[in-house]
C-alpha cells in the first residue's frame, strides 16, 4: 500500500469532479452492468437497490465525495466506516476489489469518452481506487477479526 497519493493523481482526480457530478450515475450504472457479469459478485448485492437505482446513486455520490475530498481524506472517515460495516456485512473480501476496478475504469471511459477519460485520467483513478481499496481492506480485516 502506498503511503500517499501522488500530487498529480490528486490533481487529476479532483479535476474529474464536475464530470462525475454530471455523469456519476451513468458511470456507476455502466460499472454494475459490467460487474454483474460475474454471478458470484452479483449475488452479494441487493438487487432491489439496483432496480430502484439507489445503489448506483449511492456509489456515484461516494465516488464524487472521494474525488472532491481526495486531498483531505479525514473528511471521509464516516463514509469509510459505513462502507467497511456494509462490506463486512455482505462478505466483501480483498479479491473482490480488482473485479470492481476492472468494471469501474472501463465504465468511466465508456461514459465520459476517451477525450475526457484519457489514459492519464484512468491511470490516476486506478491509483486512487487502489489507495482507497487498500484502506478499506485493512479496516475490513480488523472488523472481520473483531467479529470472529
Backbone angles phi, psi at 90, to 5 degrees: -95, 0
d(CA 84, CA 132): 11
d(CA 26, CA 45): 18
The answer to whether residue 97 is catalytic is: yes
The residue to which cell 483531505 is assigned: 72
Region of residue 33 (phi > 0: left; psi between -120 and 50: alpha; otherwise: beta):
alpha
Burial class (CB in 10 A: 0-12, 13-18, 19+), 37: exposed
Q: Using an 8 Å Cβ cutoff, are 34 and 107 in contact? A: yes
The answer to whether residue 95 is catalytic is: no
Which of 32, 127, 129, 140 is catalytic? The answer is: 140
d(CA 47, CA 33): 12
Which of 32, 97, 127, 129 is catalytic? The answer is: 97
Which sequence positions are flagged as catalytic? 97, 140
Amino acid at each position: 500500500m502506498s503511503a500517499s497519493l501522488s500530487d498529480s493523481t490528486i490533481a487529476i482526480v479532483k479535476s474529474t469532479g464536475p464530470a462525475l457530478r454530471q455523469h456519476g450515475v451513468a458511470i456507476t450504472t455502466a460499472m454494475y452492468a459490467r460487474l454483474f457479469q460475474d454471478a458470484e459478485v452479483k449475488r452479494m448485492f441487493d438487487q432491489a437497490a439496483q432496480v430502484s437505482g439507489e445503489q448506483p446513486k449511492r456509489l456515484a455520490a461516494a465516488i464524487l465525495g472521494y474525488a472532491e475530498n481526495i486531498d483531505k481524506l479525514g473528511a471521509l472517515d464516516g463514509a469509510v466506516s459505513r462502507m467497511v460495516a456494509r462490506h463486512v456485512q455482505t462478505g466483501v473480501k480483498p479479491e473482490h476489489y480488482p473485479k470492481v476496478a476492472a468494471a469501474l475504469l472501463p465504465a468511466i471511459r465508456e461514459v465520459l469518452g476517451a477525450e475526457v477519460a484519457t489514459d492519464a485520467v484512468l491511470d490516476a483513478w486506478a491509483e486512487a481506487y487502489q489507495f482507497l481499496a487498500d484502506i478499506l481492506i485493512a479496516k475490513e480485516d480488523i472488523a472481520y477479526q473483531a467479529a470472529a
